[in-house]
Structure 1
Amino acid sequence: MESHATLLLDIYDSAQHCTSPDFNQYALDKFKNVLQFDSAVIVDFSAAQQQKFIIQSIHLHDAPVEKMLDRPKAIGTESLNRNGALSSRDFVLKKALAERGKSVIANLTEGVSDLHVLDYCRKYETAHSLTFVSARTTAYTAPTIALWRAAKGNAYAEKDAHTANMLLPHILQARRINARLHVSPSSSTDVNAAALATPDGCLHFVEPEVIRLMQLEWKEWTPPLLPRILVDSLRRNNEKMFVGAAICIKATLQENMICMSITEKSNQQMSLSTAEYRAARLAAEGLTYKEIARRLDISPATIRNQLHSAYRKLGVSNKTALRNVLAELD
């Protein structure tokens, strides 16, 4: 028991100093010595009743991201009913959600008749699972940890579940502390939501409002991967800002994390200067640099700079996208 106490102190200490992905990796590496797993995931599922059950944020440990991307194909649509019960082919997660705060162990090589689920487990070498859903779920998220063993003969026992019940709540609590500490506060008073993501666009922390705002801009988008157009725009843009038709995103880089503040745009909001907007409007009509310069009696080099700035601020890369964004702004 003393070793567990030392481990937990170490986890809470690292939560204060590590970036989000580093903390998740460090914590799971530490707990691997105790719970003996081959791969794992820490994930926030949406938990609002009567809606699709989707991944909001995720950290995969020794498992490919394809495992989560392939999940909907194997499991199908999942949703929470009026009473908060999960409708899903994933019988382990269903049980874990019904028994929040208690680890659920399962042998995925026996007693599973669903061929889609069996093929999925074989593909990603998950013969045995231990799943824990936090008892401290919110109205929006269900923080969850799943630990997987690959070998058929290496089943979890009740003693493993007992140990997990004592330790895993602390990983999730320390993770909440870590995420809050590493979301950059903004001086702006109109920030509606904050999110953390890795440079490749994998979300590690989202406030409840993030999904609603992101879907104003990209209606079909669901977590945990940011839209590619957003990731590419933030990479190209030195100001780390994305201005879309419905939202504005201001980002900062902290070591290996993107910290984003997301604001809903008002109908009157205009991010471009008068000169940038004038040049962008003519470009959207199909005019070339030289034609715009001739019409406005400005040098082509100045027009090029104004359009470059307008494209960057609006997060677009071609005239078609520019035309669509300007139509939304008008």
Structure 2
Amino acid sequence: MNNGERTGAVDRTREWGDAIVLDGVTPGCWPLRHTEFDGPPSSGKSERREFGQLLLDLYSLAGQTGIGEFESAFFELLHQHLAFDAAWTGRATHAPDWPVLHCSFLHRLPRSFFTDWKSVRDLDPLARRTLGAFGKAAIISIVAPDIPNEFRDWGAKYGLAQLMCVCALDRRFGLTTFLSVYRHSLTQPFTNDEADFVENFIPHLAAAIDLNRSFHITRTQHASTSCAGICDRFGVLHYADAGFHHVATTEWPDWDGKRLPVVFTEHLRRRTNEPYVGVHISVRIAPIAGLFQLEAGARSPIDILSARELVVLRLWGEGLTYKQVAQKMAISPTTVRHHLRNAYRKLGMSNKAQILRVLNLGGPVSVASES
């Protein structure tokens, strides 16, 4: 972050940190391609049919691709309907004075693009013009006389001559979906018709991103879990099914349904590979394309066990001897006994029958996950 940022921005940076950025090309291999431009689209029934086909293809992509894969695919689809050379999309929270990015995806741009943008974001006229102006496209030329010199230099570094941005607000989670498209040519500004096009497109893009998250959860969540969501590293929800809020509020009664409590966010950042175990619930965490898939449920007694204790307990509960468990896990029989003693103590149990009843509450175990 540059040292010239306003005090409020610096404070917010400490709180939120850096956004996750995914790029659509290999770092260091940015192809500076120029899109052929035949002029603005004409109006008429054929254009409306093409837009309808675009939306049909967009929603189809949302259901067929994974998170991250969808963002890459929809840009290629958009190229068929709008001329542009590079683009940027993602989600942000519109703070009172400036948007705070949570995750974003670069198209035909290197990773350094986002890092450099952070140094000029307070001078970004597109960010200013779209702040709170949801659904209204902002268009600038990099050589316009009112463009700050530092921002002009940043744009020139990446060959950005014409810039257009539009945002849509999801009031459920307080998140803004933004789409910025860029051209390299100084003689091909974005037109009012193209602004109308992206203004009509942005709410569908926001909805398609939600569908993509929903389909991803449906494909990947455990069969026994009906309460799932997707958040970023700041704990802000990007998607949640109907049951997730109900389960979460059993643990955090005053939760507002948007940003997960600090205690969970701190766990997410420090111990991503471990489930969060609260007083009433447990939440499995799985990283996915810069975001995190969450599966929440009522806490089981075995949630208090370490991952290795749980594996030992389940293998032993399946009938393996100490020696067989030790061989399967590549540890000593003494270590197996140590883990079993700890498990009995934590669960407050004294015999194998009690253990077997508790194990029926859990799902399958993977020894590989214990490496």
Short-chain TM bin = 0.5 to 0.7
1:194 counterpart (226, 229, 233): 229
SS of alignment partner, residue 143 of structure 1:
strand
2:75 is aligned with 1:28? yes
SS of alignment partner, residue 284 of structure 2:
strand
Q: Any residues of structure 2 matched to 1:130-209 within 5 Å, and which?
A: 130-134=164-168, 137-138=171-172, 140-184=174-218, 185=221, 187=224, 194-195=229-230, 205=238
For 2:117, the equivalent position in structure 1 comes to: 71
1:43 counterpart (83, 90, 98): 90
TM-score by length of 2: 0.54
SS of alignment partner, residue 34 of structure 1:
coil
2:109 is aligned with 1:55? no
Indicate if the aligned counterparts of 1:16 and 1:181 stay in contact, CA closer than 8 A. Answer: yes
Distance 2:293 2:336 in 1: 31
**Bigger relative contact order, structure 1 or 2, given CA contacts below 8 A and separation 6+?**
1
2:56 is aligned with 1:9? yes
2:294 counterpart (245, 256, 261): 261
Counterpart residue type for residue 195 of structure 1: I
Evaluate the alpha carbon distance shift between residue 50 and residue 265 of structure 1 in structure 2; reply closer, same or farther with a 3 A threshold: farther
SS of alignment partner, residue 294 of structure 2:
strand
Evaluate the alpha carbon distance shift between residue 100 and residue 253 of structure 1 in structure 2; reply closer, same or farther with a 3 A threshold: closer
Indicate if the aligned counterparts of 2:237 and 2:259 stay in contact, CA closer than 8 A. Answer: no
SS of alignment partner, residue 304 of structure 2:
coil
Distance 2:211 2:308 in 1: 45
- 1:147 to partner: Cα distance: 0.7
Deviation digits for residues 224-243 of structure 1 (CA, Å, limit 9, x no counterpart): xx85x65xx64xxxxxx345
Q: Any residues of structure 2 matched to 1:257-296 within 5 Å, and which?
A: 260-261=293-294, 271-272=304-305
Evaluate the alpha carbon distance shift between residue 135 and residue 270 of structure 1 in structure 2; reply closer, same or farther with a 3 A threshold: closer
Evaluate the alpha carbon distance shift between residue 91 and residue 42 of structure 1 in structure 2; reply closer, same or farther with a 3 A threshold: same
For 1:101, the equivalent position in structure 2 comes to: 135
2:148 is aligned with 1:114? yes
For 2:20, the equivalent position in structure 1 comes to: none
Evaluate the alpha carbon distance shift between residue 134 and residue 253 of structure 1 in structure 2; reply closer, same or farther with a 3 A threshold: closer
Evaluate the alpha carbon distance shift between residue 37 and residue 204 of structure 1 in structure 2; reply closer, same or farther with a 3 A threshold: farther
SS of alignment partner, residue 43 of structure 1:
strand
- 1:158 to partner: Cα distance: 1.7
Q: Any residues of structure 2 matched to 1:203-218 within 5 Å, and which?
A: 205=238, 211-213=259-261, 215-216=262-263
For 1:92, the equivalent position in structure 2 comes to: 126
- 1:29 to partner: Cα distance: 0.8
Indicate if the aligned counterparts of 1:134 and 1:144 stay in contact, CA closer than 8 A. Answer: yes
Evaluate the alpha carbon distance shift between residue 41 and residue 273 of structure 1 in structure 2; reply closer, same or farther with a 3 A threshold: closer
Q: Note the residue ranges of structure 1 that are not aligned, 5 or more in a row.
A: 76-87, 198-202, 235-240, 278-297, 310-316, 318-330
Distance 2:231 2:168 in 1: 21
Distance 1:195 1:124 in 2: 32
Distance 1:24 1:153 in 2: 28
Distance 1:73 1:209 in 2: 32
Evaluate the alpha carbon distance shift between residue 54 and residue 71 of structure 1 in structure 2; reply closer, same or farther with a 3 A threshold: same
For 2:36, the equivalent position in structure 1 comes to: none
Cα RMSD, aligned residues only: 4.6
- 1:258 to partner: Cα distance: 6.9
Distance 2:138 2:307 in 1: 60
Indicate if the aligned counterparts of 1:74 and 1:116 stay in contact, CA closer than 8 A. Answer: yes
Distance 1:274 1:4 in 2: 51
Distance 1:153 1:194 in 2: 45
- 1:253 to partner: Cα distance: 7.7
Deviation digits for residues 39-87 of structure 1 (CA, Å, limit 9, x no counterpart): 112211113x548631122222222333223333222xxxxxxxxxxxx
Distance 2:290 2:147 in 1: 41
Deviation digits for residues 90-127 of structure 1 (CA, Å, limit 9, x no counterpart): 22122223432122211123224423322322233322
Indicate if the aligned counterparts of 2:175 and 2:238 stay in contact, CA closer than 8 A. Answer: no
How many residue pairs get aligned? The number is 257
Indicate if the aligned counterparts of 2:161 and 2:182 stay in contact, CA closer than 8 A. Answer: yes
Distance 1:217 1:11 in 2: 34
Indicate if the aligned counterparts of 1:59 and 1:204 stay in contact, CA closer than 8 A. Answer: no
